[in-house]
A and B are shown apart, each in its own frame.
Chain A
Amino acid sequence: MNGPRFPGVLGQLGAQQPGVRQNPITLSGGGLGTANGHQPKWVKVLDKDRCIGCHACTTACKSENDVPLEVTRTFVKYVDVGYWPQVRRAFQVTRCNQCEDAPCVAACPTSAMFKRPDGIVDFDKSICIGCKACIAACPYDAIFINPDDHSAEKCNFCAHRLEMGLEPACVVVCPTEAVLVGDINDPTSKVASIVDRDPVAVRRPEKMTGPTVFYKGATQATLDPLAARRPSGDTYMWSEKHSGRGLVNSGHPERYNSSAAAVVSYDINHTAPWDWRVSLYTWTKGVAAGAYLIPLLLILVGAIETSSQLWRWVAPLTGMAGLAATGGLLIWDLEHPQRFYMIFTRPQWRSWLVRGGVIITGYGAVLSIHLLFSLLDAAPTPALAVVGAPLAVLTAVYTAYLFAQSTARDLWQSSLLAPHLVVQPLLLGASVALLFDVLGDGEATGALQLIVALAAIVHLLTTWGEVTLAHHTEHARLAAWEMVRGSYAWFFWVGAALVGLGVGAAGVGPLGGLLAAAGLLAYEHAYVQAGQAVPLA
């Protein structure tokens, strides 16, 4: 069948448009050729009625694609359901879902992750900068950084084998024919007949990614990563759990999302993509934005003159120092720091990493012009703020969109995040300005103390909202639980206490601002890390 595929009985109305012929590649002496007369759209069916959980797909994939130890493109998760003797071990072959609307493709700043016309989400390691945005975005935890070449990779349906006319390695090896590949555009194919007529499920349909890997006969206990209990102790039923910084174990740590007795019995290592550098970056970026916005605010309310030291020197110098630290942290966090320029040379404009990079660069340019005015002994004109203020606000706020693009992380989908990220720079900027103000002529101490106190109170109220307002998914609720009571409770409560102390101490000088700023850093760390602490696979 050629042309588009229509659902239901409309399919017979599908016009017989000539499809794009996918010519078999010509290998010197190799290749098998394909007999398809049309553009295929590859999908896979994982038949859980047949799977025996033998891990052959895992090892075949590893040797075919030379995947190092500790990481996998595909693996088999085990969940034990029931009480002995009425118990069964459920298997889930877990891998990239080749989404129709792939979050990793949208998040990738350089198009290193890309969607092919035949439906495969493929990758190009030579242009991967290693920002891990794809990993943060993937709701299936299917992408990893290869420790050998430091680039992101995942299952790509063995695209190189498909082009040779060979089935993927996992399909060929499977002793029970539980892994099938085929063309969903071909209604006579085995996969199309299963997908169209048998009950099949996809993982995380609520993410609206349109997975093209279909599970036949799968139990909810494996499909939903929070439907099974995480066993206590340091092992699953028969394999070691992994512990350490940034490692995420499978299963629900407390009240799991199923009434059946389900417990994770085997899983691989999962890691949170973004470490403390990203937590710190949200803070340095806040300093950079606030350092400019606060003096501007003071000028607008008439608290200081444009000739003030705060406006002339503190704003551009602190702002630029904050931006330099931000850029440094972001580049340091890349697995390929030397490729960071590719964000600008081959931008993928849907990526908030690219948009943020442009915003930060623009803001940096405004601060440079501002500094130039000061160096030329002219008071920087507030007219420049017509450009500068929006850029400063965007510098603060774009991270909310960057985090929201991390489709996998439900905690970060909060609508409070953007306003919260506007308040935080005000607190940080006022704290910095207060310090310089007290060291200098003290012209705006009162106003700055008031801003510190108000911003700290708003921050605490917003945090209160983040924690207590209804979470729209169990994932988000669990992330908030990890932040407030779980692994990051210490950072969270110390952060809250310091900001609280800051409110009280704001009246007695710059100490209050510094306490609040330190508290904000602790909070940022708790928020960024807890958002990544929920199992996805």
Chain B
Amino acid sequence: MDQPDLPAIARRLSAARSEVEARGGTFYQGPSRVNLASFPPKERWDDWVELESKAWPERLEKRYMLVPTTCFNCESACGLLAYVDKDTLQVRKFEGNPEHPGSRGRNCAKGPATLNQITDPDRILHPLKRAGARGEGRWEQVSWDEALDDIAARLRKAIGEQRHN
């Protein structure tokens, strides 16, 4: 197995890293081990300017805030960054979160595809509480306060009764 020239890569990366760090940013090294970062420096996530791919080759700048969140498509719960458009407050895309201790910026196909679910017409928009018997499929809309209070009370009761499972 041929090994890349590691010292040269290290020199180049450290050059790119110091360039970013000189501007007060964290340099996230990508898998290609080149002077390209895999993610914007976290110091600039609040106000990140990016070129819009749809307008290419016109260099159209878009302002985003990058909001860390979690992928909800399986129990691995990998980290995601939501790119929230500062003008419209719409989520433009999801990328991985390099600061997430589990996924460290990587995702499977489901991560970026989370974009489909946040605008899915069938998505659940409010907390729903079961209204009839289990499996009956009847639900009523409740407030977040009501949902959290109800669940917290049940948890507290279970803990009080030593029901740890």
The A-B contact count (CB < 8 A) is 170
> Hey, which chain B residues are within 8 Å of A35, CB to CB?
12, 15-16, 19, 35
Cβ-neighbour of B32 out of A32, A122, A171 (below 8 A): A171
Q: Does A183 lie at the interface of the complex (its beta carbon under 8 Å from any beta carbon of B)?
A: yes
> Hey, which chain A residues are within 8 Å of B57, CB to CB?
122-124, 159
Say yes or no: A25 contacts B49, CB within 8 Å.
no
Q: Does B155 lie at the interface of the complex (its beta carbon under 8 Å from any beta carbon of A)?
A: no
Give Cα A30 to B41, complex, Å.
10
Cβ-neighbour of B107 out of A58, A160, A173, A190 (below 8 A): A173
Say yes or no: A60 contacts B49, CB within 8 Å.
no
Q: Min CB distance, B32 to chain A, in Å?
A: 5
> Hey, which chain A residues are within 8 Å of B44, CB to CB?
29-30
Say yes or no: B53 contacts A180, CB within 8 Å.
no
Bitwise, B68-112 to A at CB < 8 A (1) or not (0) is 000000000000000000000000011110000000011111111
9 nearest A-B pairs in the assembled complex, by CB-CB distance: A30-B49, A188-B8, A177-B31, A55-B109, A160-B51, A35-B15, A63-B93, A188-B5, A167-B30
Say yes or no: B61 contacts A28, CB within 8 Å.
yes
Say yes or no: B51 contacts A175, CB within 8 Å.
no
Q: Across the two chains, which residue of chain A brings its CB closest to B103? A: A175
Q: Does A34 lie at the interface of the complex (its beta carbon under 8 Å from any beta carbon of B)?
A: yes
Contacting B at CB under 8 A, from A154-182, are 156, 158-167, 169, 171-175, 177, 179-182
Give Cα A179 to B40, complex, Å.
19
Give Cα A124 to B19, complex, Å.
31
Extra contacts, 13 of them, besides A126-B58, A160-B52, A180-B31 (Cβ < 8 A), are: A27-B51, A55-B108, A158-B53, A162-B36, A163-B59, A165-B16, A166-B38, A167-B32, A171-B32, A171-B38, A183-B34, A186-B12, A190-B9
Give Cα A256 to B112, complex, Å.
36
| Residue positions of A touching B, CB distance < 8 A | 25, 27-36, 54-56, 58-60, 62-66, 122-124, 126, 156, 158-167, 169, 171-175, 177, 179-183, 186-191, 193-194, 197-198
> Hey, which chain A residues are within 8 Å of B96, CB to CB?
172-173
Interface size for B (C-beta < 8 A) is 54
Q: Min CB distance, B64 to chain A, in Å?
A: 10
Q: Min CB distance, B95 to chain A, in Å?
A: 7
Bitwise, B45-58 to A at CB < 8 A (1) or not (0) is 00111111110111
Q: Min CB distance, A222 to chain B, in Å?
A: 19
Q: Min CB distance, A247 to chain B, in Å?
A: 24
Q: Across the two chains, which residue of chain B brings its CB closest to A177? A: B31
Say yes or no: B19 contacts A66, CB within 8 Å.
no
Q: Which of B41, B44, B50, B58 has the most CB of A within 10 A?
A: B50
> Hey, which chain B residues are within 8 Å of A187, CB to CB?
5
Say yes or no: A189 contacts B38, CB within 8 Å.
no
Say yes or no: B35 contacts A191, CB within 8 Å.
no
> Hey, which chain A residues are within 8 Å of B35, CB to CB?
34-36, 165
Say yes or no: A173 contacts B12, CB within 8 Å.
no
Q: Do A166 and B32 form a contact, CB below 8 Å, given A30-B48, A60-B95, A63-B112?
A: no
Say yes or no: B38 contacts A63, CB within 8 Å.
no
| Residue positions of B touching A, CB distance < 8 A | 2-5, 8-9, 12, 15-16, 19-20, 23, 25, 27, 30-41, 44, 47-54, 56-59, 61, 93-96, 105-113, 115
Give Cα A165 to B9, complex, Å.
16
> Hey, which chain B residues are within 8 Å of A32, CB to CB?
16, 19-20, 25, 27, 36-37, 40-41
> Hey, which chain B residues are within 8 Å of A173, CB to CB?
95-96, 106-107, 111-112
> Hey, which chain A residues are within 8 Å of B15, CB to CB?
35
Q: Across the two chains, which residue of chain B brings its CB closest to A57? A: B109
Q: Across the two chains, which residue of chain B brings its CB closest to A62? A: B112
Q: Across the two chains, which residue of chain A brings its CB closest to B104? A: A175
Say yes or no: A25 contacts B59, CB within 8 Å.
yes
Say yes or no: A190 contacts B4, CB within 8 Å.
yes
Say yes or no: A63 contacts B106, CB within 8 Å.
no
Q: Do A54 and B109 form a contact, CB below 8 Å, given A27-B51, A63-B94, A64-B53?
A: yes
Give Cα A60 to B95, complex, Å.
8
Give Cα A533 to B109, complex, Å.
30
Say yes or no: B107 contacts A56, CB within 8 Å.
yes
Cβ-neighbour of A167 out of B27, B37, B54 (below 8 A): B37
> Hey, which chain A residues are within 8 Å of B49, CB to CB?
27-31
> Hey, which chain B residues are within 8 Å of A172, CB to CB?
30-31, 38-39, 95-96, 105
Give Cα A169 to B115, complex, Å.
15
Say yes or no: A64 contacts B19, CB within 8 Å.
no
Question: What are 7 of the A-B contact pairs (CB < 8 Å)?
Answer: A35-B16, A58-B109, A63-B93, A65-B53, A171-B30, A182-B33, A193-B4
Q: Min CB distance, A425 to chain B, in Å?
A: 41
Say yes or no: A181 contacts B34, CB within 8 Å.
yes
Q: Do A166 and B36 form a contact, CB below 8 Å, given A28-B61, A66-B53?
A: yes
Give Cα A64 to B51, complex, Å.
11
> Hey, which chain A residues are within 8 Å of B25, CB to CB?
32
Q: Do A167 and B38 form a contact, CB below 8 Å, given A27-B51, A63-B113, A188-B9?
A: yes
Q: Do A174 and B93 form a contact, CB below 8 Å, given A27-B51, A28-B61, A124-B57?
A: no
> Hey, which chain A residues are within 8 Å of B16, CB to CB?
32-35, 165
